[in-house]
Structures are given as structure tokens and as C-alpha cells.
């Protein structure tokens, strides 16, 4: 069976890579693109894609769904639009694979309920790279023995949300095996706001944003006289594409929302 795929955010760094990937994989068919600007009627009209790519572009998701009947919507847009896209797709019984990060906890809860009540599969994966998923798993394991943790996530300077979805997810996974603990000196004081990073149950998360970076993370575990560092680097967007394809295939078998690739591998 061929899975009919629509992509939101096709002109972006992740979205354009996903267009290439979906078009080149057996068993997947790209049937539509969702944009919010009208820059052409089809991807073929945008200079960045081959002129043979006759895939219609819509600026209205309901119309896209009605006219092209996708099985799966992949969202690779931004934190301002992803929630509305995901909600609307689920309300129309279209499965979703979301790589965009920046959901609030309330939005996640609402989408979870929506997917469950409608029995529609949805995967939200803050990181599609298998190595990053392993980094999170290893970090969770290490935190059982070395509970003093600081997370440093490093991304390109066009990223809108901080901390990254991967940074937050790592902290949440570690919190499953670690008591909330205040770290650092009990009387420590920031003489510049933000110097100690974000505080998640006492764990500190530091966000670095620089040109040249793609997506990187270090998890540092301190113990008496020792430090363990677990690090993952994505050097290009291709590192995410096997995970995107895996999720598109997997979401066809789901009837609820799954948050995090590690829960379905």
C-alpha cells in the first residue's frame, strides 16, 4: 500500500529535505504541500524544487485534506502554527507526524485527548535522529547512578524555541528516574539573569544558538572526582530523514498520540 503524504513547511530546511526523501522512497507518495504564503500553485513552480515536481501547494489545510486525501501530514513548520495544523489534521482523521518543537504542556495534553478520542495516530518526535534517541536513553540510565546533571543543547541561530524539544525531553526522561534535586551551592546567586540556565526539577538546561550549528546536545553528569559526558551531533538534516520515514510508516498503525521516537523504536 502506498502512503499518501502531505508536508507542511516544504520550503524550510527540514521540509525541503523531507520532500526529497518522501519522493525517493518506495511506498510513499507526496500528494500535497502546505504553505501560508502563495508563492506558486505547485512545488514545480518554486525554484528550489525540480520542475518535474508537480505537487500542489495549498494555503488552507482543510482544502488540502478534502482535495488530496493524505493519509499522513508531516509538520516541519514552526512553534506558532504547528499546534493548529496538528489539531486540524486530527479533527479530520488525518494522521500526523510532527517534527516541529515548541508545544506547551497544555497543547500536548489536548492533542493527546483528541488523538485518543478519534483513534487517530499521531507521533510528535522532538528529534528524529536515532543517535539522539540513544543519547536520551543512555542519559536516563546514567542519571540513576550520577544524579547531578546539566544539559547543554546547541542549535543554529534560526531556531525559535529554547530550550530545544530534545533538551526538554531529555530532562523529562531523566526526571522519571531521579528525585527533584536542587543542584549547585544552596546559596548560589545569579549576578546576571539566566547565567545558570533553565531549571527543570533542579537540572539546568543551557541553550547555545550560533550560525554553523545544526543540532547538538551534551548531557554532563558530575560525580566525586569524575564526569561523564554523553554527546550527540547532527551534522546535516539527512540525519533526521530515516526517522521521519519510520514515523510515517509507524503512525499508520497507531490510534493515539506518541511523544518521542524512543517510545516506538
Query: In whole angstroms, how close is the CB of 177 to ligand NAP at the nearest point?
Result: 24
State which of residues 19, 71, 78, 120 lies at the interface with ligand NAP (CB under 6 A): 78
The only residue of 5, 6, 7, 9 in contact with ligand NAP, by rule CB under 6 A: 9
Q: Which of 111, 125, 203, 258 binds ligand NAP (CB under 6 A)?
A: 125
Tell me the DSSP string of 47-114.
Answer: TTS-TT---BEES-HHHHHHHH--SEEEE-S-TTTHHHHHHHHHHTT-EEEE------HHHHHHHHHH
Kind and range of the H or E run holding 39: none
Member of 3, 5, 6, 11 binding ligand NAP (CB under 6 A): 11
Cell of 244: 521521519
Among 21, 100, 170, 207, binds ligand NAP (CB under 6 A): 100
Pick from 4, 13, 25, 196: which binds ligand NAP (CB under 6 A)?
13
Q: How far is the CB of 257 from ligand NAP (least distance, A)?
A: 15
Q: Which of 130, 228, 214 is nearest to 174 (CA)?
A: 228
* Closer residue to ligand NAP in complex, CB, 37/185: 37
Q: Is 14 in the site for ligand NAP (CB under 6 A)?
A: yes
Strands, E assignment, the chain: 3-8, 28-34, 57-58, 72-75, 95-98, 122-124, 148-155, 198-200, 203-209, 215-223, 226-234, 257-259
99 part of the interface to ligand NAP, by CB under 6 A = yes
Active site residues: 155, 159
The Cα–Cα gap between 82 and 74 comes to: 10
Query: In this structure, are residues 77 and 96 in contact, taking their beta carbons and an 8 Å threshold?
Result: no
In sequence order, the 6+-apart residues with CB closer than 8 A to the CB of 48 are 11, 16
Could you tell me the smallest distance in angstroms from the CB atom of residue 81 to ligand NAP?
Answer: 3
Long-range contacts from 39-42, C-beta under 8 angstroms, 24+ separation:
39/11
- Cell 507521533 -> residue: 123
Binding to ligand NAP (CB under 6 A) within 207-226 occurs at 215
Q: Quote the least distance from Cβ 3 to ligand NAP, whole Å.
A: 19
With binding defined as CB under 6 A, does residue 170 bind ligand NAP?
A: no
**At closest approach, how far in Å is the CB of 12 from ligand NAP?**
2
Stretches 76-84, 175-183, 201-209, 248-256: which one binds ligand NAP (CB under 6 A)? 76-84
The residue ranges that bind ligand NAP (CB under 6 A) are 8-9, 11-15, 34-37, 76-78, 81, 99-101, 125-128, 158-159, 215, 240
Amino acid at each position: 500500500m502506498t502512503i499518501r503524504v502531505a508536508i507542511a513547511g516544504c520550503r524550510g530546511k527540514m521540509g525541503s529535505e523531507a520532500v526529497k526523501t518522501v519522493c525517493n522512497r518506495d511506498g510513499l507518495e507526496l500528494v500535497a504541500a502546505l504553505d501560508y504564503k502563495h508563492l506558486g500553485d505547485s512545488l514545480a513552480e518554486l525554484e528550489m524544487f525540480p520542475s518535474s515536481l508537480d505537487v500542489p501547494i495549498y494555503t488552507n489545510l482543510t482544502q488540502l485534506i478534502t482535495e488530496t486525501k493524505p493519509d499522513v501530514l508531516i509538520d516541519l513548520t514552526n512553534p506558532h502554527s504547528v499546534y493548529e495544523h496538528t489539531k486540524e489534521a486530527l479533527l479530520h482523521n488525518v494522521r500526523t507526524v510532527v517534527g516541529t518543537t515548541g508545544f506547551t504542556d497544555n497543547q500536548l495534553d489536548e492533542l493527546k485527548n483528541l488523538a485518543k478520542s478519534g483513534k487517530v495516530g499521531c507521533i510528535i518526535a522532538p528529534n528524529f535522529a536515532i543517535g539522539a534517541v540513544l543519547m536520551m536513553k543512555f542519559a536516563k540510565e546514567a542519571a540513576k547512578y550520577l544524579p547531578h546533571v546539566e544539559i547543554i543543547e546547541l542549535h543554529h541561530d534560526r531556531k525559535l524555541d529554547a530550550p530545544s524539544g530534545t533538551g526538554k525531553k531529555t530532562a523529562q526522561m531523566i526526571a522519571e528516574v531521579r528525585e527533584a534535586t536542587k543542584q549547585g551551592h544552596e546559596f548560589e546567586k545569579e549576578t546576571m539573569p539566566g547565567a545558570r540556565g533553565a531549571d527543570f526539577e533542579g537540572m539546568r538546561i543551557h541553550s547555545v544558538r550560533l550560525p554553523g550549528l545544526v543540532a547538538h546536545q551534551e548531557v554532563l553528569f558530575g560525580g566525586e572526582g569524575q564526569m561523564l559526558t554523553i554527546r550527540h551531533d547532527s551534522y546535516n538534516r539527512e540525519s533526521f530523514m530515516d526517522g521521519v520515514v519510520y514515523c510515517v510508516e509507524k503512525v499508520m498503525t497507531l490510534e493515539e498520540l506518541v511523544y518521542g521516537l524512543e517510545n516506538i523504536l
